[in-house]
Amino acid sequence: MDSVQTLIIDTFTTHTGSKYPAFELHYQLFGCPLGSAPVVMVNHSLTANADVAGPKGWWKAIVGPNKTIDTLQYSIVCFNIPGNGTLNQTFSTPEDFHAGDVAALFLKGLAHLGIDSLYALIGGSIGGGIAWEMAAKAPNLTHHLIPVAADWKANDWIIANTFLQKRILEHSKNPLEDARIHAMLTYRTPQSFDLRFGRTKNEEFGIYNIESWLIHHGQKLSKRFSLEAYTLVNHLLASINIEREGQNALELIKNITADIHLIAIDSDLFFTPHEDQKTYALVQPFKKNITYHEITSIHGHDAFLIENEEVSRIFTPIFT
């Protein structure tokens, strides 16, 4: 079953005190029927969605029949980030929410589906941040916590880039296109661009191929994403932080019973590997079941969507 489904959460109150009656949470299921196999939850990245393993799934090279995460052996659940535009769901007041609210909604969604334990909780980019938030709230939820190209907080660099994104969204004549063009510069690397384009020109339009490629990605996003949806997910990205209400990250992470697999990308210019390395150095003396892995790639942040062999190399011991 891989079509979008909807469950209703009765009255959800956000951290700001905003009340949402009958909150809709959209999700997709793949693989074995729930209750018949271990459950793997995958949290999607910024402009992706819950279609992780369908015919057009954004991670179908990793999640699927006889793939690294085998849908013949696992049940896969993936929730859409609320307000990301799925089934036209958007919110005009993004400041009502932070990433911890999304984590709380996802936990309620799991309970609604009768899932009280996960084999693995995976998230890429913002999805990894939400996975951290879920584990901090429910430290016994999963056997494996796998944040990929992610962190338990938005550091100053993430906040700076989301701040620029917000200004582009508020002031540009083509907000989605221009925001996406800027974002692509943080998701890839100079080496990746040089390898792909090599300063070649698009003779038809009289511009460099890198410019044509950026324009294409900007237009592509503007056709499938609404301004309200993108504004919300950008806001959520800046809000990732398990240290709320005076809580301490080390104490929260020590309480997580899962094996934690930190997966960074050596060339990531967005969620830089240095942040995962700092977390590992902080936590490892107190929690032995935490490991640090690196994907080797020239492609930067997007490498977790590109380097399938590298991802499989790290995932295979966990899912075999």
Span 12-23, average pLDDT: 94
* Residue 26 to residue 8: CA distance in whole angstroms: 9
Judgement on whether residues 37 and 146 belong to the same structural domain of the protein:
yes
Amino acid at 255: N
Q: Specify the pLDDT at position 1.
A: 57
Judgement on whether residues 62 and 141 belong to the same structural domain of the protein:
yes
Which of 200, 216, 236 is the last residue in one of the domains? 236
Q: What is the band of 50 on the pLDDT scale with cuts at 50, 70, 90?
A: very high
Judgement on whether residues 27 and 111 belong to the same structural domain of the protein:
yes
Partner residues linked to 122 by β-bridges: 42, 146
Residue range 256-315, pLDDT digits in tens: 999 999 999 999 999 999 999 999 999 999 999 999 999 999 999 999 999 999 999 999
Amino acid at 120: A
- Relative to beta strand 75-79, strand 23-31 is antiparallel
Residue range 64-116, pLDDT digits in tens: 999 999 999 999 999 999 999 999 999 999 999 999 999 999 999 999 999 99
Q: Specify the pLDDT at position 245.
A: 81
Judgement on whether residues 89 and 199 belong to the same structural domain of the protein:
no
Exposed/middle/buried for residue 185 (C-beta within 10 Å: 0-12, 13-18, 19+) = middle
Judgement on whether residues 297 and 310 belong to the same structural domain of the protein:
yes
Judgement on whether residues 21 and 124 belong to the same structural domain of the protein:
yes
Q: Specify the pLDDT at position 272.
A: 98
Residue range 130-151, pLDDT digits in tens: 999 999 999 999 999 999 999 9
Residue range 212-240, pLDDT digits in tens: 999 999 999 999 999 999 999 999 999 99
Task: Identify the CATH number of the domain in which residue 174 sits.
Answer: 1.10.1740.110
* Residue 272 to residue 150: CA distance in whole angstroms: 8
Judgement on whether residues 229 and 272 belong to the same structural domain of the protein:
no
Residue range 243-264, pLDDT digits in tens: 988 899 999 999 999 999 999 9
Total of domains in the chain: 2
Q: How many CB atoms lie within 10 A of CB 17?
A: 7
Closest by CA to 128, choosing from 99, 94, 164, is 99
Task: Identify the CATH number of the domain in which residue 269 sits.
Answer: 3.40.50.1820
Which of 201, 236, 271 is the last residue in one of the domains? 236
Q: What is the band of 2 on the pLDDT scale with cuts at 50, 70, 90?
A: confident
Judgement on whether residues 120 and 134 belong to the same structural domain of the protein:
yes
Judgement on whether residues 31 and 139 belong to the same structural domain of the protein:
yes
Which of 175, 205, 236 is the last residue in one of the domains? 236
- Tell me the pLDDT of the chain averaged across its residues: 97
Q: How many CB atoms lie within 10 A of CB 87?
A: 9
Range of the domain at 216: 161-236
Judgement on whether residues 226 and 192 belong to the same structural domain of the protein:
yes
Handedness of CA 100, 58, 258, 9 (dihedral sign): positive
H helix runs in 174-208, sequence order: 175-187, 190-197
Partner residues linked to 78 by β-bridges: 28
Q: Which contacts (CB < 8 Å, 24+ apart) does range 218-221 have?
A: 218/174, 218/176, 218/177, 218/178, 218/180, 218/181, 219/177, 220/180, 221/47, 221/176, 221/177, 221/180
Judgement on whether residues 128 and 254 belong to the same structural domain of the protein:
yes
Judgement on whether residues 189 and 256 belong to the same structural domain of the protein:
no
Q: Is the pLDDT of residue 29 over 90?
A: yes
Residue 151 has phi, psi (to 5 degrees) of -155, 165
Partner residues linked to 8 by β-bridges: 24
Amino acid at 198: G
Q: Specify the pLDDT at position 295.
A: 98
Distance, CA of 172 to chain centre: 26
